[in-house]
Amino acid sequence: MQGPRIISVEANSASFFSRNEFLIRRLHSLTGLVPVGAYMCIHLITNASTLGGAPMFQKNVDLIHSLGPALPIVEWSFIFLPLIFHAVVGVAIIRSGNPNLSSYHYVGNVRYVLQRATAWIALAFIAWHVFHMHGWFHNEWWLENVANEDLGGHRFDPKHAASTAALALEAPIRKLAYFIGVVSCVFHFANGLWTMGITWGVWTTAAAQKRANWICGAVGIVMTVVGLSALVGVAKTDVVAAQAYEDTKLQMKQEEEQRVAAENKRLSSLTAEERLAERKAREANH
Amino acid sequence: MIQSTSHDSSAHDTHHAPPAQFTVRVLRQDVPGGSSYWERHTVKRENDMNVISVLQRIAANAETADGEKTTPVAWDCNCLEEVCGACTMVVNGKVRQACSALVDKLLVDNPEEIELRPMTKFPVVRDLMVSRARLFRALQKVKAWIPVDGYYDMGSGPRVSAESQEQAYPLSQCMSCGCCLEACPQYTKIELKQEEGETAEAFQARQKEAYDRGFVGAHAISQVMLFNKHPTGAMNAGERLDALTAEGGIQACGNAQNCVAVCPKEIPLTTSIGRAGRATTVHVIKKFFDR
């Protein structure tokens, strides 16, 4: 007779994800609000300034781009890396669940499913949106051969903010895609804000969760209005006029830069005595 | 069989007379891990029937709707007054206790048929009987009890405020039925098969480890809040919160809130989840900075 074979229990073979599940899930929750959610709100508000005309939008874009070489560092540490983390963990979370909406038609269950559906839409939309506007990578070969006009990538030029944004969204199908994308992102943010409050224990009782629901709903409605204003603002932009303004502004900026460069060159060619004499003459004039 | 001829109190709110008989569709399974199949039974309607009495009639009849001989349908039950949780099953697509599922009310929704299925999140033992071992293992994992270190008289315990009692009492009504787990989209079925030659001990150990890695569920989270609220139980509050932040802990909750919607005892499970969320937040931060 064959004796019983002993199958040993697997020694603690837990993966990194399972050993740190709590921490990872809480970081996923946190990154949804800051920086990813907060960034989305700033982004939508900035874009809504297209309603104020091409000069106002250009001013806001210039303000962001005044970070210069620090901009990619800020973008990667506060936008892309947290967003990629939120997305990767989010996909793992979605795969861990088993929706049962067909059996249980409760509002909370509908929202559970919608949170996951909008997550997929947001993931696809944001990936395409970053390609559509920025081409993903600012490498020259990539921009010429992959993220080019044929594939509809890299359509946004920060120096011609309003006009390129308007041209990029000219096709109605693109406006529709942005409409669906923005509404999905805003729902995911507002609903996620509410569940986050339960996760971290901010609102605990049913009554408190109901009150919080109104607040998160209001945040969602306001951000939907802001997001759709951006789409309306872009749709209403007069491309020719915006381009004329942007070109004039660029030309003025170039002329100013040339003037400053010429002045610096002249000053550097003077001797110390001549510079002193010039400054004294200027002071005497005042 | 007694047929009441006096006023029919059970056929309330309906203009149609209740049917004389109805069909019961049962999802049966002969052995653990085996395949399941549907079987139809015809049952004569009587006054004040519940699903348990329907299953008793099916067992007594032992014949399918087509007149074929069949084995009695197996099910679990005990208290018959919705306080033990043993007869929990999926009735017409919703998880509930068979004892409090009244036939006349079910026939209002569908006068022809009642559908019975075993719970889908637990391994089926036979027919409508499931093994809820994982549910009880979760209570072990979170130490859902108050330890006593002897049987001698330790005197009266600390006083509990009326407010605290009011918060604790609803949580103490949990009967470990498993409805919250059945309706939870984040609680997915774990069913292991005993390997050939594997000892019962080795199989149980493997099962325990698998259960511990899965989501503990709303019932266990709520019990943590109950026992951490108790002045004596609070002495082990940290251990229970450690269990809730381990793998399969509270973080696996997806906030669908089906648990609170299906709970037959109307336990404020999502309030417990919110409170446990706050307690674990404070607990891990404290642990990180105090070590």
CATH code, domain with A239: 1.20.1300.10
CA distance B68 to chain A (A): 31
CA B129 – CA B106 distance, rounded (Å): 21
Query: What's the confidence (pLDDT) of residue A151?
Result: 85
Query: What's the confidence (pLDDT) of residue A275?
Result: 83
Nearest by CB to B274, from A26, A96, A201: name it: A201
Nearest by CB to B277, from A98, A200, A205: name it: A200
CA distance B203 to chain A (A): 8
ipTM for the predicted complex comes to: 0.91
Give the residue on B whose Cα is nearest the Cα of A4: B197
CA B15 – CA B267 distance, rounded (Å): 35
A232 found inside a domain: yes
Kindly list the residues of chain A whose beta carbon comes within 8 Å of any beta carbon in chain B: 2, 4-10, 14, 18-19, 21-23, 25-26, 93, 96-100, 103-104, 106, 108-109, 111-112, 195, 198-206, 208-209
- Burial of B135 (C-beta count, 10 Å sphere; 0-12/13-18/19+): buried
Quick one: CA dihedral B255, B257, B260, B262, positive or negative? negative
Partners of B190 on chain A (C-beta within 8 Å) are none
Nearest by CB to B257, from A4, A97, A108: name it: A108
Range from A118-132, B11-25, B172-186 carrying the lowest mean pLDDT: B11-25
CA B55 – CA B91 distance, rounded (Å): 12
Share of chain A above pLDDT 70, in %: 95
Task: Give Cα A181 to chain centroid, integer Å.
Answer: 12
Instruction: Pull the structure tokens for residue B151.
Output: 């049987």
Quick one: CA dihedral B176, B182, B185, B191, positive or negative? positive
The answer on pLDDT for A75 being more than 60 is: yes
- The answer to whether B185 contacts A98, with C-beta atoms less than 8 Å apart, is yes
Tokens 């409760």 appear where? A106
Give the residue on A whose Cα is nearest the Cα of B186: A97
The answer on pLDDT for A261 being more than 90 is: yes
Q: Are B75 and B86 in contact (CB under 8 A)?
A: no
Range from A151-155, B77-81, B121-125, B181-185 carrying the lowest mean pLDDT: A151-155
- The answer to whether B277 contacts A97, with C-beta atoms less than 8 Å apart, is no
- The answer to whether B252 contacts A10, with C-beta atoms less than 8 Å apart, is no
CA distance A37 to chain B (A): 19
Amino acid at B174: C
Which strand (E) or helix (H) includes residue A1?
none
CA B25 – CA B27 distance, rounded (Å): 7
Query: What's the confidence (pLDDT) of residue A7?
Result: 42
- The answer to whether B262 contacts A104, with C-beta atoms less than 8 Å apart, is yes
Mean pLDDT of the region A88-107 = 96
Instruction: Pull the structure tokens for residue B32.
Output: 């653990």
Nearest by CB to B247, from A18, A98, A104: name it: A18
CA distance B7 to chain A (A): 35
A273 found inside a domain: no
Partners of A201 on chain B (C-beta within 8 Å) are 274-281
Phi then psi for residue B115, to 5 deg, are -110, 125
Q: Are B46 and B104 in contact (CB under 8 A)?
A: no
Task: Centre a 10 Å sphere on the Cβ of residue B28 and count the other Cβ atoms it contains.
Answer: 20
Rg of chain B over all Cα atoms, to the nearest angstrom? 22
- The answer to whether A7 contacts B195, with C-beta atoms less than 8 Å apart, is yes
A260 found inside a domain: no
Query: What's the confidence (pLDDT) of residue A13?
Result: 53
Amino acid at A205: T
Partners of B207 on chain A (C-beta within 8 Å) are none
Range from A15-19, A194-198, B164-168 carrying the lowest mean pLDDT: A15-19
Amino acid at B135: L
Query: What's the confidence (pLDDT) of residue A14?
Result: 66
Mean pLDDT of the region A121-146 = 92
Query: What's the confidence (pLDDT) of residue B5?
Result: 44
In chain B, what are the domains?
Answer: 21-126 (3.10.20.30), 132-148+158-290 (1.10.1060.10)
CA A212 – CA A201 distance, rounded (Å): 12
Q: What is the pLDDT of residues B29-46, one digit of tens each?
A: 999 999 999 999 999 999
**pTM assigned to the model:** 0.90
Name the DSSP letter for residue A67. T
B16 pLDDT tier (thresholds 50, 70, 90): low
CA A127 – CA A88 distance, rounded (Å): 13
- The answer to whether A108 contacts B262, with C-beta atoms less than 8 Å apart, is no
Rg of chain A over all Cα atoms, to the nearest angstrom? 27
Name the DSSP letter for residue A49. G
- Mutation pick from A15, A22, A93, A194 vs chain B, by most beta carbons of B within 10 Å, is A22
Phi then psi for residue B41, to 5 deg, are -130, 145
CA A216 – CA B70 distance, rounded (Å): 56
A205 found inside a domain: yes
A142 found inside a domain: yes
- A-B interface: how many C-beta pairs under 8 angstroms? 126
Partners of B273 on chain A (C-beta within 8 Å) are 198
Nearest by CB to A21, from B251, B257, B262: name it: B251
A182 found inside a domain: yes
Query: Which domain, by its residues, includes A162?
Result: 20-249
CA distance B198 to chain A (A): 6
The answer on pLDDT for B11 being more than 60 is: no
- The answer to whether B247 contacts A112, with C-beta atoms less than 8 Å apart, is no
- The answer to whether B247 contacts A21, with C-beta atoms less than 8 Å apart, is yes
Nearest to B183, CA basis, from B248, B81, B50, B88: B88
- The answer to whether B213 contacts A14, with C-beta atoms less than 8 Å apart, is yes
Name the DSSP letter for residue A76. I
A14 found inside a domain: no
CA A118 – CA A113 distance, rounded (Å): 9
Mean pLDDT of the region A251-268 = 92
Give me the DSSP letters along chain B. Answer: -----S--SSSTT-SSPPPSEEEEEEEEESSTT--EEEEEEEEE--TT-BHHHHHHHHHHH-B-TTS-B-PPPP---S-SSSSS-TTEEEETTEEEESTT-BHHHHHHH-SSEEEEE--SSS-EEETTEE--HHHHHHHHHTT-S---S-SS---------HHHHHHHHHHHT-----HHHHT-TT-------PPTT--HHHHHHHHHHHHHHS---HHHHHHHHHHHHSTTGGGGHHHHHHHHHSTTSGGG-----HHHHH-TT---HHHHHHHHHHHHHHHHHHHHHH-
CA A191 – CA B285 distance, rounded (Å): 26
Mean pLDDT of the region B56-73 = 95
Task: Give Cα B65 to chain centroid, integer Å.
Answer: 30
Nearest to A34, CA basis, from A84, A95, A70, A79: A79
Mean pLDDT of the region A132-147 = 87
Share of chain A above pLDDT 90, in %: 78
> First and final CA of chain B: distance in angstroms?
70
Query: What's the confidence (pLDDT) of residue B152?
Result: 83
- The answer to whether B247 contacts A8, with C-beta atoms less than 8 Å apart, is no
Query: What's the confidence (pLDDT) of residue A284?
Result: 85
**At A197, is the secondary structure helix, strand, or coil?**
helix
CA distance B46 to chain A (A): 28
Instruction: Pull the structure tokens for residue B206.
Output: 């493997």
Average predicted confidence (pLDDT) for chain A = 92
A24 found inside a domain: yes
Instruction: Pull the structure tokens for residue A100.
Output: 């049962």
What domain count does chain A have?
A: 1
The verdict on whether omega for the bond into residue A82 sits within 30 degrees of 0, i.e. cis, is no
Nearest by CB to B284, from A22, A93, A203: name it: A22
